[in-house]
Copies of this chain bind each other. A is one copy, B any other.
Amino acid sequence: MFASAELGHKIDKETYDAEEPGLRAALLDAQFDLAQQCRFPVVILVGGVDGAGKGDTVNLLNAWMDPRHIAVNGLGAPAEEERMRPEMWRFWRLLPPKGRIGIFLGSWYTQPIIGRVMDGGSADQLDSAIDRIVRFEQMLIDEGVLLVKFWFHMSKEDQYRRLKRLQGNPAARWRVTRTDWARFRRYADFRTVSAHTLRMTSSAAAPWIVLEGTDERYRNLTVGKMLLAAMRKRLDSADGKAGRATTAPLPPHLDRRNVLASLDLASSLTKKAYERKLEKWQGRLNLLSRDRRFRKRSLVVVFEGTDAAGKGGGIRRITGALDARQYRLVPIAAPTEEERAQPYLWRFWRHIPRHGNITIFDRSWYGRVLVERVEGYCSESDWQRAYGEINDFEWQLADGGVVLVKFWLAISKEEQLARFKQREEVSFKRFKLTPEDWRNREKWDQYEEAVCDTVDRTSTEIAPWTLVPGNSRYHARIMMLRTVVRRLERVLAEV
């Protein structure tokens, strides 16, 4: 959930100064149209890590737009009037009417998350609260509300620095309270619980927009642009209705920094070191596959990656360590007729291994949010809802004892070209290269965006993505073997 928001996003001053005036004017226009049309209200939720600039951003929106038509609701602990009434009363009374914008700094998410992390609430209580939130937001959307949800994230180190800096500044010292430090000490718990909550409440009509709060200029431009895009989409639609298929846009990375671009593709390994390590990790994997405790678990390994990134080679290094009776390799191509007559995930459910067994997917259910999204094989609403469906699916696997390892194998654009050329030249490799590969290459940027969204939305505690730099085949293979082994060791230790 948060990987993309820990990359140190930054916008330089020149870019910012060039963009700001136009953005402000466009936001004012949108606000004017909103009031004129008076067809729907805008509800903006602002949540996230303390010190990540939530308050500053709200002030900025107020400064950029006409504050007479924005109501900012800073919600702390409930006042007496509010405690004497049902919990949701305070939010209902603050909802903006049609034509207006209401910003909630602190919202219906605050109490459930804090309750779980700080006040000993159970996981089931949190899920029960999430269920109510989902119903509440669905109702808002059905009623025509444009709901835009921002989550300001910061890495633990950045938050520490931020709190320290505020404390060292006499004019800002009052902003750092004991509560802030008490919460900071539970950073890891907040991260886990927030990620879970955000994932479960990211619907197609109101996905969470997670952004890094460290750099003020990046933060401001991102919030402004996302809000503008969401408002314009509704304002310019014929009936001003959201409908199911109309979804808010995903966050762009204004500085073109993303989880893929941040991979160190140069990592490499000598042949000698490779052979030594290969033997070591394959040996450990073989031992694990015959471990008694593995009879109560099963393993699913997903290989996704750029064309020619070396998925096949990686798979063979893993199967090389396994007994052929114990694993199945499932290559995913176009669905069969039988599969097309079923819900999308059916074709993957049928290959789920029983305990003690292993299934390796060469491409997977992520096709829907990758190739199907980019090539337009399914509608936007289909791939938007797929993130949630996939998370549910993987949760069910994990709950059923399946250990899930997911690889994205990445190579640089230049490396891909070199490998394509090589395949063309070597006759026994020629079958591997199809015209489709060249076509996909032309859509490199679109695929990159789809991959980053996928990692952001489907990397979970129970099924994290491992991004593998693949320019060096040796390095990539060892990294994947090691990841599988370490993951299995950790899980089996808990059996």
User: A343 contacts B86, CB within 8 Å?
Assistant: no
How far, in Å, is A383 (CB) from chain B's closest CB?
12
User: B400 contacts A349, CB within 8 Å?
Assistant: no
Which of A143, A343, A385, A400 gathers the greatest number of chain B CB atoms within 10 Å? A343
Q: Quick one: copies of this chain in the complex?
A: 2
Of chain B, the residue at the smallest CB distance from A145 is B343
User: A389 contacts B139, CB within 8 Å?
Assistant: yes
User: A143 contacts B344, CB within 8 Å?
Assistant: yes
Kindly state whether residue A236 has any CB partner on chain B within 8 Å. no
User: A354 contacts B92, CB within 8 Å?
Assistant: no
Residues on B with beta carbons closer than 8 Å to the beta carbon of A132: 392, 396
How far is A392 from B396 in the complex, measured between Cα atoms in Å? Answer: 27
How far is A399 from B86 in the complex, measured between Cα atoms in Å? Answer: 7
How far, in Å, is A16 (CB) from chain B's closest CB?
36
Residues on B with beta carbons closer than 8 Å to the beta carbon of A389: 135, 139
How far, in Å, is A85 (CB) from chain B's closest CB?
6
How far is A41 from B341 in the complex, measured between Cα atoms in Å? Answer: 8
Residues on B with beta carbons closer than 8 Å to the beta carbon of A38: 341
How far is A98 from B41 in the complex, measured between Cα atoms in Å? Answer: 41
How far is A345 from B355 in the complex, measured between Cα atoms in Å? Answer: 49
In the complex, per-residue mask of A119-146: 1 if CB is within 8 Å of any chain B CB, else 0 = 0001111011011101110011011110
User: B89 contacts A400, CB within 8 Å?
Assistant: yes
Residues on B with beta carbons closer than 8 Å to the beta carbon of A344: 143
How far, in Å, is A111 (CB) from chain B's closest CB?
13
Residues on B with beta carbons closer than 8 Å to the beta carbon of A114: none
How far is A160 from B323 in the complex, measured between Cα atoms in Å? Answer: 56
How far, in Å, is A130 (CB) from chain B's closest CB?
7
